[in-house]
Structure 1
Amino acid sequence: MRRTARLLTGTALAVAAVGLAAEAHALAGPAAATGGLEVYPVSVVPGEWAAVRTAACGADGSAAGDAGAVGSGAFPLAPEAGEGATTGRFEVPPSAQPGTYEIVATCAGSGLRVTGDLVVTLTPAREQVHPRGSVKTGVGGALGPDPVQTAAGVTALAVAAAGGTWLLHRRARGDGI
C-alpha cells in the first residue's frame, strides 16, 4: 500500500514539475527579455516625467516605448552615447490614478520586449511619511514591551508542548495516562 502511494505521489510531482516548466517556457515565448527595463524614478506623482533604460537592445539599438497603461502612450528610446544602453522619457499625465503600471519597450532590430513597473502616487516620495511605533488595538497579548513577560509566555508554551508530547508518547506505548 505504501509503495503504491509513494509511486503515485512521485508520478504526480513529476507531472506537476513538467507542467510548470512548460508553462514558464510558454509564458517566456520568443519575445521574452533577457534584461529588464529600468524605470526611474520608480515612484512619481501625476504630471512628472519618468525615464526608462535598458541594455537589452544592444549598444546601437533603438526601441519603441509604450506607457499606454498609465495613459502616456508611445515614446521613443534612443541609444546612449558610450553607455551601451537605450533610454527614453515620457510624461505621466496629470489625470493618472495611483497604482502600479507596466511600461513596455520593444527593441527595433530584434523585436525583443522588455518591461518595467512604474508606481504612481499622490504624494511625492520625498514627502511621504512612514509610520513608526506600535498600534494600540486593545486586544492585548503575551508579546508586550516587557521582555520578562515575553520570556515567561514563551516558557509556558514550551512546557505545555513538552507535556503534551510526553502524554501522547505514553499513550502510544500503552502506559495509559
Structure 2
Amino acid sequence: MRRTARLLTGTALAVAAAGLGAAPASADDTAGLRVYPSSAVPGGQVTVNTAGCGDGGTAGGDASAVGAGAFTLAPGTHEGEASGRFRVPPSAQPGTYEIVATCAEDGRRVTGDLVVTLTSPREQVYPRGSVKTGVGGALGPDPVRTAAGVAALAVAAAGGTWLLHRRARGDGI
C-alpha cells in the first residue's frame, strides 16, 4: 500500500512539473506574428499584427525574405496590438517566407509565415481550350477544311430543296 502511494505521489509531482514547464511556451505562442492574408499573390498587400510587443508597443518589420524589405509596426486599431503593412513584390516567387518583427522596447523577435502563390484563393479560374474526348472533330481546326465542309452541306441542302420543289410541281425526278 505504501509503495502504491509513493508511486502515485511521484507521478503526480512529475505531471505537475511538466505542466509548469509548458506554461511559458503556451503564453509565448499567443504573441506571434499574424499575417493577413496568410496566402498572397505577387503585387498583393499584406497586413501584419502582433500583441508580442506589449500594449502600445512598436516594432520594426522585416519582409526581405520575400523581397519587400523593411516596414514599421505601430499601435493599431486593436487594443494591445501593433500593426503594419507591406506589398509583396511583383517578382516574388511562389513559396513560404518568414516575416520577422523586432520589438522596439525589448528587442524581442516575433515571426510569422507568408505563403506566396501565383493565383489568389478568391480568384475563380476558368478552363480554356478543348477537351480531347476522341469523339467528333474530324475536320479539326483547319479553316480551309471547315469552309469545304460548310460548302458541301450548303450544296446538299440546295440540291434537296430543288428535288423536293420538282416533286411538288409534279415534274418527277
2:54 is equivalent to residue 58 of structure 1: yes
Aligned match for 2:117, one of 109, 121, 135: 121
State the TM-score, normalized to the length of structure 1: 0.53
Is there any run of 5+ residues in structure 1 with no aligned partner, and where? Answer: 1-27, 130-177
Once the two structures are TM-superposed, the CA of residue 126 in structure 1 deviates from its matched residue by: 1.2
Q: Deviations over 1:20-74 (max 9, x none)?
A: xxxxxxxx9xxx8762100000000000100100000011110000000000000
State the TM-score, normalized to the length of structure 2: 0.54
1:82 and 1:124 mapped to 2: Cα distance? Answer: 27
- Return the letter of the residue paired with 2:40: V
Greater gyration radius: 2
Match of 2:45 in 1: 49
Give percent identity, aligned residues only. 69
Is there any run of 5+ residues in structure 2 with no aligned partner, and where? Answer: 1-24, 126-173
Q: CA RMSD in A?
A: 2.1
Aligned match for 2:87, one of 88, 91, 94: 91
Aligned match for 2:31, one of 35, 44, 54: 35
2:76 is equivalent to residue 67 of structure 1: no
1:118–1:128 CA distance, 2 compared to 1 (3 A): farther
Q: 1:64–1:105: 8 Å Cα contact kept in structure 2?
A: yes
1:82 and 1:114 mapped to 2: Cα distance? Answer: 18
Match of 1:23 in 2: none
Match of 2:103 in 1: 107
- Return the letter of the residue paired with 1:121: T
1:101 and 1:84 mapped to 2: Cα distance? Answer: 26
Superposition misfits of 4+ residues, deviation over 4 angstroms: none
1:108 and 1:33 mapped to 2: Cα distance? Answer: 19
2:77 is equivalent to residue 77 of structure 1: no
1:97 and 1:52 mapped to 2: Cα distance? Answer: 20
